[in-house]
């Protein structure tokens, strides 16, 4: 989810990843892999893990959880309305004054919102578990999702081709994002977004290491939700989404919706909840706005033959491309083929496969380009980014099979 508070991954992590939702309880997958809601993106936004967390939204600049897990809420236990609570009253006054809105209108809607204890639990840090790329990948790159992706591509071929022509973002990548985030619209979330954002604005858990920053972020998202509601003539309590407030097929946070969503079918309104064309165009626009470069690969294979000191140097910048190909190789990250001619900076991206001391496998590595980094802006997780890329490419390959329907 782009612009989400948690960078987690969907297995949706949406990382990630982006990525407690992206294995018993779908919400716990995020914490276990290390969500889809932590980074604030779409945006698409979405977890409380670091850049390498498999747990997100997506579009991507917050910590996020996996979309499929973070969006499975049904009836949520409620802790009571915020009406009359001093903190809610003060927040309403601040928002109204900042936007020159009727304070009674703001007070009414924030007062109508309900505290959701489940949301507080989902964003409360959980004990860290070993990340496992192989397990995470298997949950997302699988026959059901690939088949759904084929049907989505076949149905939306014209919009996907137009988005690629308009923004330079390949159709397979857009298909990968929407597939990981919401399984092509099957899991867009059942939380009332007004309740989720009010809860995170007024009762964000103080045990979180970045509580003040995260609470401020969600207050901004609540304010933007109210603005979207006014602009579109909707009641603020009509929006549904993830426990962190990510909405629609691409799981955009309100701020990503406001900045990056587009009316791609030209019907005069932006609808990311039911309009696939608008969702497709908005995802492509989001990635383009975050620096996508047409024609550049997202990553290359790499063989790591580095010493401990060299490996530490290579991993220090995390997933931000920081080394040219020559320096990359000199530090023991061996490239081959066209990767040797790559003109831009590279990052050594590490994806853990469990704890080797507990029977886990050795980590996987790829050489990430600037475009790989762009995908992580949707959900701040390398696990999420690679899952999106590989799902999109798997759907593209399936469509190319001789017996695939066109």
Contact between 29 and 405 under an 8 Å Cβ cutoff? The reply is: no
Q: What was the pLDDT predicted at 137?
A: 97
Over the chain, what is the mean pLDDT?
85
Is 144's pLDDT higher than 50? yes
Q: What was the pLDDT predicted at 126?
A: 81
How confident is the model over 349-369, as pLDDT tens digits? 999 999 988 889 999 999 999
Q: What is the dihedral of CA 366, 350, 286, 282, to 10 degrees?
A: 80
Catalytic residues: 181
Is 62's pLDDT higher than 90? no
Cα atoms in the Cβ-side hemisphere of radius 13 Å centred on 366? 22
Q: How far apart are the C-alpha atoms of 367 and 349, rounded to whole Å?
A: 6
Is 52's pLDDT higher than 60? no
Q: What was the pLDDT predicted at 3?
A: 54
Q: What was the pLDDT predicted at 404?
A: 67
């Amino acid at each position: 989810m782009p612009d989400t508070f948690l960078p987690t991954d969907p297995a949706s992590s949406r990382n990630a990843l982006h990525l407690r939702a992206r294995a018993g309880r779908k919400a716990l997958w995020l914490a276990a892999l290390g969500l889809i809601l932590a980074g604030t993106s779409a945006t698409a936004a979405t977890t409380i893990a670091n850049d390498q967390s498999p747990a997100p939204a997506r579009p991507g600049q917050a910590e996020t959880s996996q979309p499929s897990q973070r969006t499975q809420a049904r009836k949520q236990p409620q802790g009571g309305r915020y009406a009359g609570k001093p903190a809610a009253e003060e927040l309403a006054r601040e928002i109204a004054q900042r936007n020159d809105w009727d304070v009674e209108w703001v007070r009414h809607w924030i007062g109508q919102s309900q505290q959701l204890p489940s949301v507080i639990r989902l964003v409360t840090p959980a004990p860290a578990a070993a990340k496992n790329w192989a397990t995470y990948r298997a949950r997302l790159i699988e026959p059901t999702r690939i088949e759904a992706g084929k049907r989505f591509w076949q149905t939306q071929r014209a919009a996907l081709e137009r988005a690629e022509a308009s923004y330079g973002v390949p159709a397979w990548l857009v298909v990968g994002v929407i597939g990981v985030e919401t399984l092509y619209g099957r899991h867009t979330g059942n939380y009332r977004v007004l309740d989720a954002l009010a809860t995170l604005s007024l009762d964000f858990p103080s045990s979180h290491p970045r509580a003040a920053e995260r609470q401020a972020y969600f207050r901004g998202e609540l304010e933007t939700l109210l603005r979207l509601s006014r602009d579109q003539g909707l009641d603020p309590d009509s929006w549904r989404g993830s426990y962190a407030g990510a909405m629609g097929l691409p799981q955009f946070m309100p701020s990503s919706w406001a900045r990056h969503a587009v009316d791609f079918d030209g019907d005069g309104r932006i609808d990311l909840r039911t309009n696939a064309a608008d969702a497709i165009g908005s995802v492509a626009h989001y990635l383009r706005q975050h620096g996508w470069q047409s024609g550049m690969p997202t990553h290359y294979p790499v063989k790591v033959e580095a010493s401990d000191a060299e490996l530490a140097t290579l991993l220090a910048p995390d997933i931000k491309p920081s080394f040219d190909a020559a320096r990359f190789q000199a530090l023991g990250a061996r490239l081959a083929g066209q990767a040797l001619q790559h003109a831009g900076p590279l990052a050594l991206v590490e994806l853990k496969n469990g704890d080797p001391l507990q029977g886990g496998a050795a980590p996987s590595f790829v050489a990430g380009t600037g475009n790989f980094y762009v995908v992580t802006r949707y959900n701040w997780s390398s696990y999420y980014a690679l899952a999106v890329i590989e799902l999109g490419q798997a759907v593209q390959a399936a469509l190319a099979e001789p017996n695939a329907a066109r």
